[in-house]
Structure 1
């Protein structure tokens, strides 16, 4: 008699939609669903690009008032899981309880205090409470952090739960970058934005210019341009943000003629990467930064700040540089180093090799091993009957 597949609930608010975290869940889950050991059910509020190998179940989410959004989604998941027979619950979102939690961010109070530098709103307090409830749920047996940086921040805030944490980096598919004609991309994209073939183009990509440190990058670029005015150094900015504000900032730095704003690139982002010479992102904080891995897949050396989780993949001077974002002179020095093709081109090859070693298949297999350990391990706790409650939906969804 054939062994039945394990029934896995994968929890995420949005599946297959734009965003680094959403892409992570999509790529991982599609591969796990193709594994005959698992039957994957996605519990989501919205999804796109559904495949035949994944079953979808719509979870309710209240959009307004905002402080109810996460709570209502968690409540909907709670009820659904209680009524269905899952072998394992893997959540990518803060909910009341699960067996396995992939942590795409840092503890929410730290994010508000240290990154956003704001006071906790009602929404933030509710989210923080749900997060705390999940971390201290007795049935939670494994936490997957997307970087060592995320793990460190988690240890700082939840030291008692630190034995549960292991790091699983996101993956990347290098094939789309290999199938495209790089020279054709350089001609087309550069022509579109008024960039010369001989220009050295820095690519910046991000959906929040402030958090991703575009201001720090502009300050460093201004210094590099002043030091090497003959270099043809240009900055191509892709993504979403207050473009007028940063155009004025570029003007203040004296580099307005050297900066191009491309806006949000809906499709074929690989072409933009292939048109550039190097990638830079000096984020105030980024749990991982999938764009860094995408840049490496396009054979771009990277310059990133110490507060980008993808620093785990950077070998100093081999495939990129990790810098102090506030030291504009030091960042400018690294950019100037990469103006030399004899330095840049070997680093470009090493960057591609780094990306090629980070496949989604590898990430999926590591996650599958975590599934098997939880399903078969002696410390298994049935999430359907938590130790501190007689039913899944009792005592675990109150604030």
Structure 2
């Protein structure tokens, strides 16, 4: 426990640490916020996580785990709203935080904002209450616009807001080298403001399980080559690319593709239009018999899916970071990933898995066939993957880096306040 316990305010306007994962708007950011808050508390920090109130059955403040509170801020109607539609409620979110801070009498040493709308709130709080802030964008509007074009539903002012935040933030946390480069190239972020700190995985949640045991527990065929796609059901994740790749295999029937994720535990195209689109693609390519859509699974179940697979596949068009490859590697499973964003940082081609071009089902199929035909190589890749994530990507390692940055910002801010106080005393004398 730290002697002077720093008090940190997380802002994560749309990604609550309490959310059920797997939906359109719930994924890596929710995991990041939840895990870093928990691990920071274990290191002696107090953390309040501010998130938009969208469930009226929940109280405003929840003592979640020792050292961490989740504070629901009313910003717009208390209901689920797509993250693309909540920017207009950020002034109310800001005022809600100011009112909470005043009512509670708390003095936060630092705000860590997550995503650009939270960054907007943090910048306003810095102006109102003089609290320094760092930000992890988790995704950048310029990059999203390049890859999604007119399908990007965020308001156009997002880009200007992000540029303003870059100027006002005390530090910017990039999740990988590509993220750092994008911040510098598209936002003119000064290099001295950027610190690269990756995402992580929990070794309490994800660890190796014998493949036979995992497959038996899930009722899977022990003799099939099983490949796994797991994550949010949105087009940019490239699940359609994995489905199409099956038609390029010499013997598709020797492979079973598990697709884990969605809005519900039982796959329902009515609730998830993307699921319906994927099922249609599978039928068009004649590979529907090789695929099992499992629906959303609990965190407790995921390790069995990772461990049951010969290969985990993640081939998005772009990926700011991508936590699922880490989770797969933590279970000793090699990863084939797109050569983009954070994936090309976490997956070492030829050592922990393979990198392929995005949106290239033929190249993906060739790599799948190459790997599943060599059981000994798969085993070595899995062992290397396990070593890599445990050496570089545990949440403990991640929060060590965050804590070092926080302490630096807090020390500089306290020094500045003391100097200002000293000047005021001299002036008054």
Same fold (TM over 0.5): yes
Q: Which residue of 2 aligns with 1:249?
A: 281
State the Cα deviation string for residues 97-147 of structure 1 (Å, max 9, x = none): 153333243322432x223211776x513544443332222xx22111112
Distance 1:310 1:48, change over 3 A: farther
2:261 counterpart of 1:239: yes
Q: Which residue of 2 aligns with 1:368?
A: 403
Q: Which residue of 1 aligns with 2:379?
A: 345
Tell me, in whole angstroms, the C-alpha distance in 2 between the residues paired with 1:132 and 1:245: 35
State the Cα deviation string for residues 296-334 of structure 1 (Å, max 9, x = none): 111111111122413212221111111102333322221
Q: Quick check: 1:74–1:94 contact (8 Å CA) kept in 2?
A: no
Distance 1:163 1:255, change over 3 A: same
Q: Secondary structure at the match of 1:270?
A: helix
Q: Which residue of 1 aligns with 2:237?
A: 212
What is the Cα deviation at residue 378 of structure 1? Answer: 7.7
Tell me, in whole angstroms, the C-alpha distance in 2 between the residues paired with 1:246 and 1:257: 13
Distance 1:142 1:380, change over 3 A: farther
What is the Cα deviation at residue 6 of structure 1? Answer: 2.2
2:125 counterpart of 1:94: no
2:165 counterpart of 1:134: yes
Q: Which residue of 1 aligns with 2:423?
A: none
Tell me, in whole angstroms, the C-alpha distance in 2 between the residues paired with 1:34 and 1:220: 44
Which range is displaced more, 57-66 or 304-313?
57-66
Which structure's relative contact order is higher, taking Cα pairs within 8 Å and 6+ residues apart?
Answer: 1
CA RMSD of aligned residues (A): 2.7
Q: Which residue of 2 aligns with 1:396?
A: none
Q: Which has the higher helix share?
A: 2
Q: Which residue of 1 aligns with 2:74?
A: 60
> Which segments of 5 or more consecutive residues in structure 1 lack a partner in the other structure?
386-399
Q: Which residue of 1 aligns with 2:329?
A: 296
Tell me, in whole angstroms, the C-alpha distance in 2 between the residues paired with 1:266 and 1:29: 20
Q: Secondary structure at the match of 1:285?
A: coil
Distance 1:142 1:43, change over 3 A: same
Q: Which residue of 1 aligns with 2:362?
A: 329
What is the Cα deviation at residue 200 of structure 1? Answer: 0.5
Q: Secondary structure at the match of 2:236?
A: coil
Distance 1:78 1:312, change over 3 A: farther
2:107 counterpart of 1:85: yes
Q: TM-score, normalised by structure 1?
A: 0.83
Q: Quick check: 2:211–2:309 contact (8 Å CA) kept in 1?
A: no
Q: Which residue of 2 aligns with 1:51?
A: 65
Q: Secondary structure at the match of 1:124?
A: coil
Aligned length: 370
Distance 1:179 1:338, change over 3 A: closer
Q: TM-score, normalised by structure 2?
A: 0.78
What is the Cα deviation at residue 235 of structure 1? Answer: 0.8
Tell me, in whole angstroms, the C-alpha distance in 1 between the residues paired with 2:207 and 2:86: 43
Please point out which of 296, 306, 311 is paired with 1:278.
Answer: 311
